[in-house]
Amino acid sequence: MDESKAFDKVADLGRDIGEYIRQQRANAKISLRQLSKLAGVSNPYLSQIERGLRKPSAEILQQIAKGLRISAEALYVQAGILDVPAGGPVVDAVRAAAELTERQKQILLDIYASFRRENEKSTVEGSGVDDEPEGVSPDEQG
């Protein structure tokens, strides 16, 4: 990759993270000034980040994530600091849920992961995923 393409890629990451932060702020229905106060980041600096003029550090992203009440990991991925984690649409939806706290998101993701492991184990052992007949509750079986 030549130098100009590398520069363009870094510039695109700055715009991408800025646009993502702007979208998350709009989803949370908070102003730039409110996010600035919540995150402890100056209003002009935050504006520059959103416009793609500045590329924030991991520490600043963490503060912004806290202000937006979203996963810092989501911002790190968007900024290119972390690789995209495997997980699919369910994991993405949980991570993007602005109305959940980080603790609630982690609990949901842990439960989801345990269900997936359980189902994978059941499939490997040859038993079906469902132990109950479809459409019949445990109370109706006995």
Q: Could you tell me the residue ranges of all domains in the chain? A: 1-84, 86-126
What CATH fold (topology level) applies to the domain 1-84?
Answer: 434 Repressor (Amino-terminal Domain) (1.10.260)
List C-alpha distances in Å: 55 to 32, 69, 106: 17, 20, 27
Query: Does residue 55 carry a pLDDT above 50?
Result: yes
pTM score, whole prediction = 0.56
All residues at 6 or more sequence positions from 66 whose CB lies less than 8 Å from its CB, including other chains:
38, 39, 72
Find out whether 28 and 99 touch, Cβ atoms under 8 Å.
Answer: no
Alpha-carbon distance of 142 to 104, in angstroms, equals: 36
User: Mind listing the pLDDT tens digit for each residue in 68-99?
Assistant: 988 888 888 888 888 766 677 888 888 888 88
All residues at 6 or more sequence positions from 106 whose CB lies less than 8 Å from its CB, including other chains:
none
The pLDDT assigned to 86 comes to 66
User: Mind listing the pLDDT tens digit for each residue in 13-45?
Assistant: 456 889 989 998 998 899 999 999 999 999 999
